[in-house]
Each structure stands twice: as C-alpha cells, then as structure tokens.
Amino acid sequence: MMRQAPKKKLIAFMGGPCTGKTTLAKAMLKVLKAHGVKAGWSREFVTEDIKVHGPPPREFTIYEQYRFFFNQLKLEEEVLEKSEVLVTDSPIMMGCVYPLMELDVSLSGRQQAFAEEFVSLFKEFSQRYHRIYFLGRDFPFEDNGIRFHSENESKAVDGKIINMLRAFAVPYKELHGSVEERVMEVLKDLKQEGLILKDYELLETPDLFQIENLIDIASLQKS
C-alpha cells in the first residue's frame, strides 16, 4: 500500500516524450519558490539511469519498469520530506504506462501477471496527486540523445496515458501553449483550490529569466 501524504501538495505533469514536462516542472519550481512556496522537484529517475546503463532491452522492459517504478517512488518520497509542494515530470503512474505499452499477448503468464499489477498500481497511485496535468504535444519532437522512442511511439504513449486516465475516471486537465501560458494556467488552478496560500501574488506575465534572477539574488543574500 502506498504512503499517503495528505498535508503535501503533489502536482503531476504527464505526457509522452518531448511534450515539455521537464521544462514545465523546472519553470513551476522557480515560480513557486519566487512566491515563497517551499517547493521541490522530483526528477525522472529513468533519464539518469539510461545515461549510465542505456535503454532496457525490449524483452526485459516489463521487469526493468519495476526497478524504475520503485526508484522513482523513493526519489519522490525524499523530495516530499523537504517540501510543502512537489512538482514532478515523472509521476509514479508513468512507470505503469510504459510496460503496458510493451505488452504483447505472446508474453508468458508471469509477465501477464506483472502487467495486471501495473494496471492496479496506476489506479492506486493516480489518487496520490492533488493535480494531474496532461501536456499537449505543442512543440517539435527533438532527439536529445537519451530518448529511445520515436515520434510515432511517443504519440502512442500520449494516447495510452489518456486512455488509462479516462478508464479509471482520474481527474486531469490538458495544458497547451507556451511554457509561460502553461505556468500561468497551473498557478491560477493552485490559487483557486487553495493549494498555494492566498497571500502569494500571481505574476501576470511570468518572466522565467527574471524569476530565476530573483531566486539567485535571494540565495546570495542568505550566504
């Protein structure tokens, strides 16, 4: 059974490769900190793991995803211990989507059982987050040297995520537009739902470079 964190605020960004999840998570972290929120970012474990070990062979994907799943959960719990609001570009449920993408009817019975468990885990962990956002594919597909999915495969991941969210009636919201527009949309939602304190002033036109400078100045003042 997963550990619940009722006093914490967890914001999840979902989408296939190259939908801007990491860029948005970084931007939200900067904006929330500029508003005085004790925020943290749970990074994607698999990205760093692939740099070291390379992408998992297709025949081992469903097994490797268990390792990815639990290491991602560990990272998220570590960030939660230090934060009041957590943003992540790799919510736990993403570790359930990819093995199901690889599922083949020819897999052994034991592998089929693993797949059923991933479906259950997706349903369970989708309740962990206060807000789930699905990011539209609004930016050109880029190969960063780490992604091992093609553009068509990435679009298939998008479809799988949407289908699973809808199948389990998981509340989510689609985000489109520029990074700035996405940030503003999330901030409005967080304030309306009380997930950030009313005393925090929303930035009408968030300049991410200006926000970054403000954070750097604040850090210098503390040192």
- What pLDDT does residue 54 have? 82
Residue 195 maps to which CATH number? 3.40.50.300
Structural domain count of the chain: 1
Does residue 132 fall inside a structural domain?
A: yes
Cβ contacts of 212 within 8 Å, gap of 6 or more: 30
Question: At what angle are helices 109-125 and 94-101 packed, to 10 degrees?
Answer: 150
Does residue 2 fall inside a structural domain?
A: no
Does residue 22 fall inside a structural domain?
A: yes
Q: Which residue has the higher pLDDT, 56 or 176?
A: 176
Question: At what angle are helices 94-101 and 61-80 packed, to 10 degrees?
Answer: 170
Cα dihedral sign for 109, 114, 118, 124?
A: positive
How many angstroms separate the CA atoms of 189 and 212, rounded?
22
Q: Which residue has the higher pLDDT, 220 or 12?
A: 12
- What pLDDT does residue 202 have? 45
Does residue 1 fall inside a structural domain?
A: no
The two structure tokens encoding residue 222? 């503390």
Enter the DSSP assignment of 177.
S
- What pLDDT does residue 50 have? 82
R_g (Cα) of the chain, nearest Å: 18
Q: Which residue has the higher pLDDT, 64 or 127?
A: 127
- What pLDDT does residue 213 have? 46
194 pLDDT exceeds 80? Answer: no
Collapsed DSSP state (helix, strand, coil) of residue 45: helix
Does residue 130 fall inside a structural domain?
A: yes
The two structure tokens encoding residue 112? 């089929």
Domain that holds residue 54: 9-222
- Other C-beta atoms lying within 10 Å of the C-beta of residue 126: 22
Q: Which residue has the higher pLDDT, 119 or 102?
A: 119
Does residue 4 fall inside a structural domain?
A: no
Quickly state the pLDDT bin for 98 (edges 50, 70, 90).
Answer: confident
Mean pLDDT of 23-41: 90
Mean pLDDT of 163-168: 94
- What's the gap between Cα 30 and its chain centre? 16
Cβ contacts of 122 within 8 Å, gap of 6 or more: 93, 96, 97, 164, 168
- What pLDDT does residue 146 have? 56
pLDDT tens profile 137-150:
988 887 766 556 77
11 pLDDT exceeds 70? Answer: yes
pLDDT tens profile 198-208:
444 444 444 55
pLDDT tens profile 112-133:
777 788 889 999 999 999 999 9
Does residue 102 fall inside a structural domain?
A: yes
Does residue 106 fall inside a structural domain?
A: yes
Q: Which residue has the higher pLDDT, 86 or 207?
A: 86
- What pLDDT does residue 75 have? 94
Collapsed DSSP state (helix, strand, coil) of residue 139: coil
